[in-house]
Amino acid sequence: MSLRNLPSVDELLSEPVLQALIQRYDRRLVVQVVREEVDTLRTDLRKAGADVSRETLRAQIAEKSVIRLHQLTAGTLKKVINGTGVVFHTNLGRAVLPGDVADRIRDLAAGYTNLEINLSDGSRGSRYDHIEPMLRTLLGCEAALVVNNNAAAVFLALNTIAREQEVIVSRGQLVEIGGSFRVPEIMNLSGASLVEVGTTNKTYLRDFERAVTDQTALLLGVHTSNYRIVGFTNEISLEELARLGQQRGIPTMFDLGSGTMIDLTEYGLSPEPTIRQCLASGIDLVTFSGDKLLGGPQAGIIAGKREWIDRMKQNHLLRALRVDKITIAALEAVLALYLAADPVEQIPGLAMLTASQESLRARAGRLARSLRGVVPKHARVSVIRTTDRVGGGAYPIEELPGSAVQIAGLANPDQIAAWLRTADTPLLARIQEDAVQISVRALLPGEERIISGLFARCFKEELA
């Protein structure tokens, strides 16, 4: 027990480093942090029991308080470099917005906007009116509504159309996405009852037909966007679902998930339905995410029949799911790129997905050359072929042939990966067969220079 040496908060505040902090930050904040550090140290000292001098304790607390304050005030969210080759990486924030879109957000976010006002007559307007005309044009639908994310879109639709009634879904489509979006759970929370039909691998039109009752409020299809059932399978097509709905006077909806505006088969990806194709099947409503293949901000979009979208706009739940002006600004700007001539070049996620193998190889070659200059002699830098992924719960089995720079011959690859991950600009690399690998597909322009700077420092300072 050496608590008698524990300095008081007042005494600590006279330390020069803490005095300097009081000049920069709110005094109460500094006092609070110092007090917490004193409390922590008191607990530690009780446990440890060794005698430590008052000067040492004072220096220790001062140092810890400085670090804590810097961490607190800097925030923890930061830019990272994505060397994983997963384009819409959910843990890395999914889609990267185009630079022009970010500029537009900055412009609109730092001032007032006409978010909910009609400038022509000064009357009250709706925030949802800004994006709807663009979506109607792009998708050829009657109406569209934007909410916080696709989970919210599905939730709002189910609650509006089917609360206290039944929704029929194929057993093969009861998906879980990202651990938290599960069709049965969302259904339950929305107040609708799930009626499962068919089997895991085979569901037919007649399964749906037999399950329809006077309680049926919706026929739902869910895109199995993050898995595939292969072998002896059958699913009811969107056209069949739409036709059955029309015959029986029941609305139909398809949760597409990762919605693409563009047919990516032209770029060598396997066929996925575009949003327009889904709507063209005759289905009443389609829901999809803003930050997956669309390449925009986090948002959920519901497109389709005006009758149902108008009802969703009347649902008070919408108030809890509504998007802010920043999302609207970002989505509007990204959608405008789809109206322009070359969306695939303008939208980073799409440019990454469609990059040619030659361009990726050339890029990896350049990165490898610059890394050879900074890694130690025993390390072997080479360009290898790699498998990249779409990510964001889309194209689960699509293997995108890519290029990576591999740094092999390292004694401690995990330690190096950890150093890179915790650098001021963190780099997320892959470790495979004891080598560090950086896929170039999801690197942004200019990040190669940062990467070679990181490796130079990593080997020089930390692990020489």
Ligand X SMILES: *Cc1c(COP(=O)(O)O)cnc(C)c1O
Binding site for ligand X (CB under 6 A): 149-151, 175, 177, 181, 222-223, 225, 255, 257-258, 289, 300, 393
Residue among 21 and 183 whose Cβ is closer to ligand X: 183
Q: State in angstroms the smallest separation of the CB of 38 from ligand X.
A: 43
Residue among 225 and 386 whose Cβ is closer to ligand X: 225
Task: Annotate the chain with three-state secondary structure.
Answer: CCHHHCCCHHHHHCCHHHHHHHHHCCHHHHHHHHHHHHHHHHHHHHHHCCCCCHHHHHHHHHHHHHHHHHHHHHCCCCCCEECCCEEECHHHCCCCCCHHHHHHHHHHHCCCCCCCECCCCCCECCHHHCCHHHHHHHHCCCEEEEECCHHHHHHHHHHHHHCCCEEEEEHHHCCEECCCEEHHHHHHHHCCEEEEECCCCECCHHHHHHHCCCCEEEEEEECCCCCCCCCCCECCCHHHHHHHHHHHCCCEEEEEECCECCCHHHHCCCCCCEHHHHHHCCCCEEEEECCCCCCCCCCEEEEECHHHHHHHHHCCCHHHHCCCHHHHHHHHHHHHHHHCCCHHHHCHHHHHHHCCHHHHHHHHHHHHHHHHCCCCCCCEEEEEEEEEEEECCECCCCCEEEEEEEEECCCCHHHHHHHHHCCCCCEECEEECCEEEEECCCCCCCHHHHHHHHHHHHHHHHCC
Q: State in angstroms the smallest separation of the CB of 174 from ligand X.
A: 11
Residue among 273 and 402 whose Cβ is closer to ligand X: 273
Q: State in angstroms the smallest separation of the CB of 294 from ligand X.
A: 10
156 vs 150: CA distance, rounded Å: 10
The torsion angles phi and psi of 66, rounded to 5 degrees, stand at -60, -45
54 vs 425: CA distance, rounded Å: 37
Nearest partner of 276 among 253, 304, 255, judged by Cα: 304
Q: State in angstroms the smallest separation of the CB of 185 from ligand X.
A: 12
Q: State in angstroms the smallest separation of the CB of 233 from ligand X.
A: 18
Residue among 62 and 353 whose Cβ is closer to ligand X: 353
Residue among 153 and 436 whose Cβ is closer to ligand X: 153
Nearest residue to ligand X, scored by beta-carbon proximity: 257
Residue among 46 and 228 whose Cβ is closer to ligand X: 228
Q: State in angstroms the smallest separation of the CB of 271 from ligand X.
A: 16
Residue among 149 and 281 whose Cβ is closer to ligand X: 149
Q: State in angstroms the smallest separation of the CB of 319 from ligand X.
A: 18
Encoded tokens for 405: 């720079």
Q: State in angstroms the smallest separation of the CB of 386 from ligand X.
A: 25
Residue among 353 and 405 whose Cβ is closer to ligand X: 353
Residue among 203 and 289 whose Cβ is closer to ligand X: 289
Q: State in angstroms the smallest separation of the CB of 198 from ligand X.
A: 18
Torsion angle, alpha carbons of 393, 398, 403, 405, to 10: 50
Q: State in angstroms the smallest separation of the CB of 255 from ligand X.
A: 5
